[in-house]
A and B are shown apart, each in its own frame.
Chain A
Amino acid sequence: MNVMFRGKLWSFGFRSTVMLYFVILIVLPILGIYSQSLSLGWHPLWESISDPLAWKAVLLTVKLAVIATVINVLIGTLISWVLIRYRFPGRHLLNSLVDLPFALPTAVTGLMILLLLGPGSLVGGFAAKLGFEIVFHEPAIVIAMVFVTFPFVIRAVQPLLEELDKSEEEAAYTMGATRARTFFSIIFPSMLPGILSGGMLAFSRGLAEFGAVVLVAGNIPGKTLIASVYIFGEIESDNPQGAAAVSVLLLTLSFLILWTVNLIQSRRPGQ
């Protein structure tokens, strides 16, 4: 009896500790930021968001993240197709390299882009001669976002391609469908859920990216200042309420995306 009672007490203690940890670490801070943004009422919240520098930063972030996502969807679909369907030397090596952006610290990524494309570098100098600026302008931000979100689409599409039943494809061929038609009516639809959820994850990560971008963006307000760097600036200049307001805007957007991804994934048949 005594042993059982002690066991129960232990498990009750464990349960409460784990749940408390979860609530305090994850839920409380998020509630905190929403309440902080409203701490002075609706009016200052609206004022902080409608500051032209603030909404320009958010708009710029969305625009560049969309561009980066489109690039990633295109090259990600291609890469996952080639890595799954073709056998060629170096395939395993490339497949392992896909995760590199996840493993590499984002500050290192930023520095890498700076070194490769910066004003003193070969590519940067060449582009400057053509009257084309990369670093400290929008292209550098897009490149940083593409690099950081590179694995998402690939890792979402690959398992779907592996699962794909080859007999459907072969049936289409034998019935005289062209290569392109087979691709668009058999293969592409089964890749689509992966492309969508991977693309949305990449988009939300692109929206949130800070480390890689802050080093290469130049951070000129209204021009190359993205939302996360704007928030950082507001914190540095001791305006937590303004920082919280823009954070809430960005957070709500990301939560909506996350929720959509969950919806897409739960709709997938067989899951």
Chain B
Amino acid sequence: MTIRRLWITAVYLIFTILLIIPLIEIVRGSWADGWGGFTQALMRPQSLHALGMTGIIVIVVTLINTMFGVMLALYLVRAQWIGPRIKRLLNSLVDLPFAVSPVIGGLMIVLLLGPSTVIGALFEDAGFKVVYALPGMILATLFVTFPIMVREVLPVLQEIGAQQEEAASTLGAYSWYTFWKVTWPSIRWGVIYGVVLTVARSLGEFGAVLVVSGNIMNKTQTATTLVYQDVENFNVVAANGVALVLAVFSVGLLLLMEWAKKRKEVH
């Protein structure tokens, strides 16, 4: 069984080098100037503002995408008013944002809604700024995270089939009632897993937001774009502080992901 031991050691080595050491390094790096340096980095007004922006984006994006993602998955599986061919086409379109580089996702929004475009100028006249402001950043994050929820819920819906729902609705149950009593219990853990993934992705979104926001300090800066700016300004200790906060959240989300995945398999 020496070959077995060799493989296991190799796997441990890969994990240690690729995942564990880098995580430790972030913690060590943010403590390079001790507790004082860490709190100082976090208590800068721009850090607080950036973390607040990230928080707003995560909440809004998760809410919107959960709602629309579940609805779209329902339609793509159950709806009889869409032909099977169109359904297949829509189904393959859902994945497009996964294939789009985040920078390109941001560029799309600037091209469509930027100040020099027709729609952008219209909004600007109405006193509503989209690009280089919060709405654009939310849009960019919505675009990037769109497929996650659909992809989590759709297979579950396909698996459970429509029989129970049909039974409920022929027995006269109102459609909302059918949804909450019959459909929701079976897709619940898929939705929760999708929410955790969406939160993780919108928390960490960088490329799309950087392009759309213009990265203006204390205005349109998120936690990830602040890390980028701090590194560009050679302020590595400050970057580490903010990065540590993000990393702690990510590890927490990872634990939630594991928990949701286990529940999903049981149900």
Contacts and interface: CB of A to CB of B under 8 A. Distances in A.
A260 to B, nearest CB: 11
Interface string B92-110: 1111111111111111111
Interface stretch (B35-43, B121-129, B183-191, B238-246): B238-246
B90 A22 contact: yes
B104 A15 contact: no
A112 B26 contact: yes
B25 A112 contact: yes
B85 interface: no
B14 interface: yes
Interface in A97-139: 97, 99-116
Interface residues of A, number: 76
A147 B18 contact: yes
Majority secondary structure of chain A interface residues (helix, strand, loop or mixed): helix
Contact of A240 (B79, B110, B203): B110
Max chain A C-beta neighbours (<10 A), residue from B107, B139, B243, B250? B107
Majority secondary structure of chain B interface residues (helix, strand, loop or mixed): helix
Contacts of A262: 92, 95
Contacts of B31: none
A55 interface: no
A105 B104 contact: no
A104 B11 contact: no
A187 B143 CA distance: 39
B231 A32 contact: no
Given A79-B14, A115-B236, A251 B100 contact: yes
A263 B3 CA distance: 36
Interface in A222-271: 227-229, 231-232, 235, 240, 243-244, 247, 250-251, 254-255, 257-259, 262
9 contacts: A15-B81, A96-B258, A102-B200, A108-B204, A108-B246, A210-B102, A228-B104, A229-B103, A231-B107
